[in-house]
Amino acid sequence: MVVSAREVESVIVRAFSMLLAAGFLSAPVIAAQPAAAARAASPVDRSLLQLDRAQMSERAAAATVCTIRDERLDELSGMVAAGTGYVVVNDGSDFAARRKIFFLDARCKVTRTLSYPSRPRDTEDMARGADGTLWIGDIGDNSGSRDTIAVWKLAPGAKRPVLHRMAYPDGAHDAEALLVTADGTPIVVTKDGGTAGIYRPKSALTRDSTTPLEKAGEVTLPMTTTSNPFSFLGRAVITGAATSPDGRHVVLRTYADAFEFDVTDNDVIGALTSGKPRQIPLPDEPQGESVTYSADGRSLLTVSERSDAGTDPVIQRYPLPDRPAASTPAAPPSPSSSAPPTDDAATPDATAPDARAAAAEDGPPVAYITAVAIGVAAMAVGGVGLVLARRARRR
C-alpha cells in the first residue's frame, strides 16, 4: 500500500512540532543529542523523542527464512505462521488470481489457495486466533471513503472464509494492523500518522449486519532513527500487528521497526495504551507491512512487498532472545469435504456499498510551518513522493 496524503500531513505536524520544540530539524540530530532534545521538549513530547535504551535488547541480525517466488504474491500485506509453514494474503488487487488466501510450506512454495466468496476490498493484515481460526483484516482505506470495513474469518476445516462488516463511530480510517484477543475479539489499529486509534467491536460479530466499532484507546510509538525507504514517515505509521502464540505479547510494526508490548491478563488494549514497548529494528526492508510470530513464539517473522527492482519477497526472521518456546500450534487443517458450502448470495460483496475507487488526494497544507520547516518538509515529502510514485498501484 501507499502512504496517503492525510498520513503525510499527520506525520509532518507531529514531527515538526517535536523538532521545532526541541530546536532541531532532523530526527538523526535528535538521536545524537537526546538530552538536549528532552530538556527542550514538553513532558509529552519527551517520551516520543527518544527510546529508553534499557528497553532495547541486543538483537541478532535478520536471517533469511525463504524466498517467495510465486508471481501472484507481489503485494504481500498479511502473514501468519502455521505449523511448519505460512499463510499470506496480498492487499487489494485488480487480479482475481491474487485475491486469495495462500498457504505456503517451509520453503515458501504455495501448496494451496482458498478463494473469497465475494470480492474483498483491501485486505491488509492477518491474525490467528487461539482456536486456529484465521482472520483477514479487510481494513485498508487509502482514500478515506469506506462506510464499512470488514474481517474475514476462516475457521479450521472451512472451505471459505465468512465476511463480517464493521463500522467506525467517527468516520473513515485507513488501517493495516489487526490483532485478535484470546477470546476472539478483533482489534483494529489505524494507520494515522503519529498517534493511532485502537478500535474494537461493541458487540458480537454477525454476518447478517454491520457491527459498530468503539474507540478503545490510542497508541503512540516512540520515534526512532531506523533506516527505511520512507524516512521519518516510515517510522510513524503502523503497517502490521501480531499476537504471540501464548498471548503474552503483541507487536506493532512500522516500515522501520517493530515494537513489542507485554500483555497481562489478556488485556491487549491496556498493553497498547499504557505499556512500554521494546524496539526491534527492521532496517531497510523494501516495503515492510507484514509481521507475525514464529510458531514457537521465539522470533518475529516479516515479509515485504516485491521491490521496485523486481526482487522476490523474502521472509526474514528476527530472534527474540531469552524467549521460552510456546507450544507449537498445529497447521490449519485442509477444508473438510463435509463442511457446508458457503452461500455466495448470502455473503455480501465486501466492496458494497462503499465500492468507490481510491481517489487522488490533495497534498497536505503547510501554512502553519515556518519557512525553514517548509523547505525541509518539501524535500522530505518530495523524496518520499518519488519513492511512492514508483510503488503506487494502478487501480
Q: pLDDT tens digits, residue range 120-133? A: 999 999 999 999 99
Instruction: Give domain status of residue 317, yes or no.
Output: yes
User: CA-to-CA distance for 66 and 205, rounded, in angstroms?
Assistant: 36
**What nine digits make up the cell of 360?**
487522488
**What nine digits make up the cell of 372?**
525553514
393 contacts: CB under 8 Å, gap ≥ 6: 2, 75
Instruction: Give domain status of residue 228, yes or no.
Output: yes
Whole-number pLDDT of residue 349: 47
User: CA-to-CA distance for 163 and 167, rounded, in angstroms?
Assistant: 13
Residue at grid coordinates 462488516: 165
Which of these, 80, 300, 273, 116, lies nearest to 189 by C-alpha position? 273
User: CA-to-CA distance for 45 and 38, rounded, in angstroms?
Assistant: 8
Instruction: Give domain status of residue 15, yes or no.
Output: no
Instruction: Give domain status of residue 117, yes or no.
Output: yes
- Domain containing residue 80: 63-346
Which of these, 16, 3, 119, lies nearest to 366 by C-alpha position? 16
What CATH number is associated with residue 174? 2.120.10
Q: pLDDT tens digits, residue range 88-111? A: 999 988 899 999 999 999 999 999
Instruction: Give domain status of residue 160, yes or no.
Output: yes
Residue type, 24: F
286 contacts: CB under 8 Å, gap ≥ 6: 229, 304, 305, 306, 307, 308, 311
Q: Which helix (H) or strand (E) holds 385?
A: helix 371-391
Whole-number pLDDT of residue 305: 86
User: CA-to-CA distance for 242 and 252, rounded, in angstroms?
Assistant: 7
Residues of the chain with pLDDT under 70: 1-60, 308, 326-395
**What nine digits make up the cell of 167?**
463500522
Contact between residue 123 and residue 152 where contact means Cβ atoms under 8 Å apart: yes
Domain count, the chain: 1
Which of these, 235, 252, 253, 220, lies nearest to 44 by C-alpha position? 220
Instruction: Give domain status of residue 21, yes or no.
Output: no
Instruction: Give domain status of residue 162, yes or no.
Output: yes
Total residue count of the chain as it appears in this document = 395
Strand order in the sheet with 110-115: 76-82, 85-90, 100-104, 110-115
Peptide bond preceding 341 in cis form (omega within 30 of 0):
no
User: CA-to-CA distance for 280 and 278, rounded, in angstroms?
Assistant: 7
Instruction: Give domain status of residue 336, yes or no.
Output: yes
Whole-number pLDDT of residue 82: 92
User: CA-to-CA distance for 393 and 142, rounded, in angstroms?
Assistant: 12
